[in-house]
A and B are shown apart, each in its own frame.
Chain A
Amino acid sequence: MKNKKQKNRHVYWNPYFGGFLMGLLIILTFYLTGRGLGASGALKSGVVTIVDTVATTHAHSNEYYSKFLSEDKSPMNNWLVYEAIGVLFGAFLSGAFTGRIKWKIDHSPKITSKRRLLFALGGGILFGLGAQIARGCTSGAALSGMAVLSTGGFITMLSIFGTGFIVAYFFRKNWI
């Protein structure tokens, strides 16, 4: 156990170093593009594209999908989609350099993998729903919003983490 703890400590970057680089990256992103980072936007483009392919008339008649559909441009032809492809590459590189790439399910030893995956699915559904309501997730709304002092960004951040601390008790078996 002691050995494992020491391993844990040295595997990842110092959080302040990672945070500092992330801050510089946000500055650079605003400096170049005038906007911040995002993550859920790319998945939204994916959903819009799938629905448009499977049920075109439905996608065009739905008020939400039709916001992102135009005649001459695929919803996948979007800044955030390219950024998300980059995220996958970048994370893969980091994982490759440190030997972290393998099929794995992270969960507390007190629960089964099946339970973990069920909660991951449910949590994902809720997060996807919430990110649409709030017009962005932890990256797009909270982090990039806070970088320019957006009131909504701060409210979303406080709401996500405040709720997290309130409900943490009910999910403790999954994590500790």
Chain B
Amino acid sequence: MGPLIPNGLIPLEWNYVIAILIGMAFGYILEASGFSSSRKLAGVFYGYDFVVLKVFFTSAVVAVLGIFYMDYLNLVDITQLYVHPTYLWAAIIGGMVMGVGFLAGGFCPGTSLCAVAIGKIDGIVFTIGLMIGIFIFAELFDVLEPLFVGSNLGNITLVDTLDISPYWIIFIFTIIALVSFVISDIVRKKVKKVFY
């Protein structure tokens, strides 16, 4: 039963080989979907291109459906999977800082790596900026530590937070995604075209 590497079903030596192969697939999908173009990414915020919303929501819905289905079939033990921990204020404020960074810079870390790979100079500059930002965080860690380690709610999921069945959450999430796809197509038809 999965996950395979933590359960010793695949030797640990394969871990980094798998990392490179998974990374290659990740980079290939991102670039082929258009995520190496900052103007395409920014389109979601101005209504002229919704590729970010469509790829992001489709992948989240497919992933969550697949993982819970595999858990249902006993192919993977969901309790062994790493759940990103919830530090409430760190998640909110960190997300806000990232939101401004996204609009100013036009990338996020994964997409900027793709942009670097195909020679986008703005992607290279953004990636240098990322490293400077990480450096600033580390140097200011004494000041930011209360925010970073505070309001720790643990490795909770929406099942704990909302106290309803995961299947209902996934169902509602899927409906929200589908509705957002329909709305995004309506909006895009009304917004002035942008050529890039």
Contact = CB atoms under 8 A, between A and B. Distances in A.
A159 B104 contact: no
Interface residues of B, number: 135
B58 A85 contact: no
B157 A32 contact: no
Interface residues of A, number: 125
Nearest to B4: A32
30 contacts: A15-B55, A16-B54, A19-B59, A20-B58, A21-B25, A27-B66, A31-B2, A32-B22, A34-B80, A62-B141, A86-B27, A87-B26, A89-B27, A92-B117, A93-B24, A106-B37, A119-B106, A120-B129, A127-B98, A127-B102, A129-B101, A132-B94, A135-B85, A137-B109, A141-B84, A147-B63, A147-B67, A164-B45, A164-B100, A174-B106
Interface of B: 2-6, 10, 15-16, 18-34, 36-40, 42-46, 48, 50-51, 54-67, 70, 75-76, 78, 80-88, 90-110, 112-123, 125-139, 141-142, 144-145, 147-148, 153, 155-161, 166, 169-170, 192-196
Given A36-B84, A128-B137, 12 more contacts: A5-B193, A16-B54, A37-B26, A79-B19, A86-B21, A87-B30, A88-B116, A105-B121, A120-B105, A123-B104, A123-B105, A125-B101
Closest 4 CB pairs of A and B: A123-B105, A124-B129, A86-B23, A128-B133
